[in-house]
């Protein structure tokens, strides 16, 4: 999680609580880092059998079930492909079809063994990149609530999680970045109470080669950057992991499939922006999204 972390806590004991929340997030970050030599994830990826911490076991189980629910649009085992494209190191390159297919085959034949909290991987490499921040922020929010904090805002690199309402009781105003604009340019503002708000879009990390842009969100089916016609997806949910994971999964699915998926559930809402800058908002956000023009996706 090489991102900026902001923790703002209101009320008595705020400073201590904020520090504690930051420490908790750093600790989780340490467990799930793909680059940290001794992180639980790195050890799993080296083929070791690992006695997982409670949080990692929970994160793994929930990632797997979200992967299944989304029909594989979210895949926690794409690490070898992410590395192939250079998104882990910044040494980008467009790999050949053979290279991609080779890794997709490996992905398909690999296996995970999970008994109790003991886990090991065979032919697979784990990367919690699409869910770790959301889950960590949610854990930190939970910790703050246990400390009696009733108003706080956490942001892990644009992954927003709130505790309660603002100190004065009003709703939080979360700016949704314009995928075609620059940092600080919003296409709309979401008013939310206690919620997680997470955005995914290729504009967040991409490289250009021969005039073609390659985004960092890979389609697990093709092994290539997702080209679903969407520029960004923002998910609002009570659950931080769900918001984080779904922002990626819906991005991979594309508008139609994402709308269908939303209709089949009642635990999240979303703002989707297509390549032409058209904005689609699920019904539940109709009155909480402030924006000049958007189309409502109805049930």
Please report, as ranges, the residues that interact with other proteins according to CB under 8 A.
Answer: 6, 153, 155, 158-160, 166, 172-177, 179, 184-190, 197-199, 201, 204, 232, 234, 290-293
Nearer to other proteins (CB atom), residue 100 or residue 141:
141
Nearer to other proteins, 214 or 289 (CB): 289
As measured in angstroms, the least distance from the Cβ of 89 to other proteins is 24
Asked if residue 174 lies in contact with residue 192, where contact means CB atoms within 8 angstroms, the answer is yes
Query: Whole-number minimum distance, CB 186 to other proteins, in Å?
Result: 6
Q: Which is nearer to other proteins, 4 or 212 (CB)?
A: 4
Give the shortest CB-133-to-other proteins separation in angstroms: 11
To other proteins, the closest distance from the beta carbon of 175 in angstroms equals 4
Query: Smaller CB distance to other proteins: residue 158 or 220?
Result: 158
Phi first, then psi: give them for residue 49, nearest 5 degrees: -90, 125
CB of 184 to other proteins, least distance (A): 7
Contact between 266 and 232 under an 8 Å Cβ cutoff? The reply is no
Write the DSSP string, 106-135.
Answer: HHHH-EEEEETTEEEEES-----TTTHHHH
Report helix, strand or coil for 150.
coil
Contact in structure between 229 and 278 (CB atoms under 8 Å): no
* Closest CB to other proteins among residues 129, 188: 188
Q: Which is nearer to other proteins, 63 or 199 (CB)?
A: 199
Q: Output 185 or 221, the one with its CB closest to other proteins.
A: 185
Residue indicated by tokens 């970050």: 29
Query: CB 217 → other proteins: shortest distance, Å?
Result: 13
CB of 156 to other proteins, least distance (A): 11
Measured at the CA of 33, the angle between CA 30 and CA 35, to 5 degrees, comes to: 120
95 contacts: CB under 8 Å, gap ≥ 6: 84, 85
Q: Name 21's Cβ contacts closer than 8 Å, sequence gap at least 6.
A: 7, 9, 140, 141, 143, 144, 152, 154
Place of tokens 């922006």: 273
**Residue 258 CB, nearest approach to other proteins (Å):** 16
Answer whether 40's CB lies under 8 Å from 56's CB: yes
Q: How many Å apart are CA 30 and CA 197, to the nearest integer?
A: 23
| Cβ atoms of residues 29 and 2 within 8 Å | no
- Beta bridge partners of residue 279, listed in sequence order: 273
Name which of 27 and 173 has its Cβ closer to other proteins. Answer: 173
């Amino acid at each position: 999680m090489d991102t900026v972390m902001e923790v703002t806590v209101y009320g008595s004991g705020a400073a201590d609580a904020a520090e504690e929340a930051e420490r908790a997030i750093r600790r989780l970050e340490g467990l799930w880092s793909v680059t940290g030599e001794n992180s639980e994830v790195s050890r799993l990826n080296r083929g070791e059998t690992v006695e997982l911490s409670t949080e990692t076991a929970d994160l793994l189980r929930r990632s797997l079930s979200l992967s299944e629910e989304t029909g594989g649009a979210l895949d926690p085992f794409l690490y070898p492909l992410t590395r192939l494209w250079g998104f882990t190191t910044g040494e980008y390159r467009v790999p050949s079809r053979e290279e991609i297919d080779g890794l997709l085959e490996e992905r398909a034949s690999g296996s995970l063994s999970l008994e109790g909290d003991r886990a090991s991987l065979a032919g697979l490499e784990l990367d919690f990149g699409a869910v770790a921040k959301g889950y960590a922020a949610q854990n930190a929010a939970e910790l703050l609530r246990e400390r009696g904090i009733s108003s706080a805002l956490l942001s892990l690199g644009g992954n927003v999680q709130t505790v309660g309402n603002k100190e004065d009781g009003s709703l939080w105003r979360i700016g949704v970045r314009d995928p075609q604009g620059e940092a600080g340019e919003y296409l709309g503002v979401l008013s939310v109470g206690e919620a997680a708000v997470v955005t995914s879009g290729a504009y967040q990390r991409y490289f250009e080669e021969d005039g073609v842009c390659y985004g960092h969100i890979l389609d697990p089916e093709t092994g290539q950057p997702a080209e679903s016609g969407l520029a960004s997806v923002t998910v609002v949910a009570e659950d931080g992991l769900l918001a984080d994971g779904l922002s990626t999964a819906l991005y991979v699915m594309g508008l139609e499939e994402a709308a269908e998926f939303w209709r089949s559930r009642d635990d999240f809402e979303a703002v989707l922006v297509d390549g032409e800058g058209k904005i689609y908002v699920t019904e539940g956000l109709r009155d909480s999204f402030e924006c000049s023009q958007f189309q409502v996706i109805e049930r």
